[in-house]
Structure formats: structure tokens, C-alpha cells
Amino acid sequence: ITGEGDKAFSTGRDLKDSKNHTKEDARNYMQRCLDSALAIKRFSLPTVAAINGFAFGWGMEVALACDLRVAKRDSVLCFPECGLGIFPGAAGTVMLPRLVGPGVAKDLILTSRKFSGEEALELGVVNRSIDGSSQDTVDAAVDIAFTIASNGPLGVKGARIVIDEGLDVAFDQHVEISNKYRFPLNDTEDFNEALKAFGEKRKPEFKGI
């Protein structure tokens, strides 16, 4: 997921338009923002955000909803909401602390300060920081996506579920969730194919069964 062109990933809401919102408009707008971010978060396949230029507000929440994030080194990121008397409402205040911890999340959200793609990598907000062109950032995100796609789809799907479902549970329960999805993979055709391919020194051809 990336923005059109190289000026911005997404700058979030149009403040000029927002000042004319009725109470109902504001509620509907926020609900649409939340629904769209959660749709990405709950998407059945892995998602990668390629962040170029500016990523503000809802744009940051879209990026957080993705499984992985790649940012151009000099891109500018920000959660500006507290500076407007509100706070990130499309699950940003839920997703960010789960990703980087409450201390970093409070720093970025409560101060509304701008930070670079380089700092975002240092803070753990993004997975890669690219020192190159905007296209290089997109290419890096695509490379990650192709690398994931080359792996067994059942393993990738199961790993995503276990990681996400285990965020709010105790360790032993998390292990149970892992076992629920991991043990059945021992009996799949894909796993047998991977073992066969290893012995034949070739890449496995996964079918998702």
C-alpha cells in the first residue's frame, strides 16, 4: 500500500473540509476512517506499507494497520491529532503502543511531533528505512511482499494469526493458540513438498494444501 506519487503516503483529513462538518458528519467521517484501517488490519493476506513523503494522522493509522512498513529515510511522519484537541481515532492509539510500547507511543502521540523515516526505524515504527528514491521505497516493499509470497501460504497465514491473537493473552494461552495452528501443518502436502524439495535441492512448489 502506498500513496500516489512521491509527495505523500497520506496526509490524513482535510482540515479545511473538517471545519464545516456537522456533528453527524464528524461521526461518520471518523467511523469511515476506523472501518478502513480495520479492514486493512483484518485483511486475510500480509500487507506492506511503502511510506514516501508525508504520512500524517489517518495515513499513519493505515500504515500501522499493515503487517510491515517501509519508509523513505527522509519521509515525514506525524500523529498531529492531540495538537487539534483530539487523538488518533482510527485505532492509532491502540495499534502504536502494541507495536513500540506505551513510552514511545505517548512520546509520538502526546507531543504531535514530526519524525523522520530514519527515526521511525530507530523507534520500531517501521521495519525498513530506505536511503534512496521514492521508487526504491516501493521496490523494497514489493521485494518484501514477494519474499513472503514465496513461502508456504499455510505457514504464513498461521504465523500471522498466532502473532496477532496472542497479543492480549498470557504466555501459556499463547502457546495453546500456537499449537492449535502449528500441529496440523505437520500433515500438509506443502510441508511434505518442502521436505522433498530440500532433499532434491530445489525450491518447493507450494499449493496451500
DSSP classification of residue 6: S
Torsion angle in degrees (nearest 10) through CA of 196, 184, 155, 169: -150
Residue 7: count of CB within 10 angstroms of its CB: 11
For all residues of the chain together, what is the average pLDDT? 94
| pLDDT at residue 79 in the model | 97
Average pLDDT over residues 186-192: 97
| pLDDT at residue 72 in the model | 97
* Whether residue 16 has pLDDT greater than 80: no
| pLDDT at residue 153 in the model | 97
pLDDT in tens, 143-178: 999 999 999 999 999 999 999 999 989 999 999 999
Which of 120, 14, 116, 121 lies closest to 57 in space, CA to CA? 14
pLDDT in tens, 19-35: 777 888 888 888 999 99
92-121 in b/e burial notation, b at 16+ Cβ within 10 A? bbebbbeebeeebbeebbeebeebbbbbbb
Rounded-to-integer distance, Cα 149 and Cα 41, Å: 18
Which percentage of the chain shows pLDDT scores above 70?
98
Beta strands in the chain (DSSP E): 8-10, 48-51, 54-56, 68-72, 76-78, 115-116, 128-130
The residues, any chain, with a CB within 8 Å of residue 208's CB and separated by 6 or more, are 152, 153, 154, 190
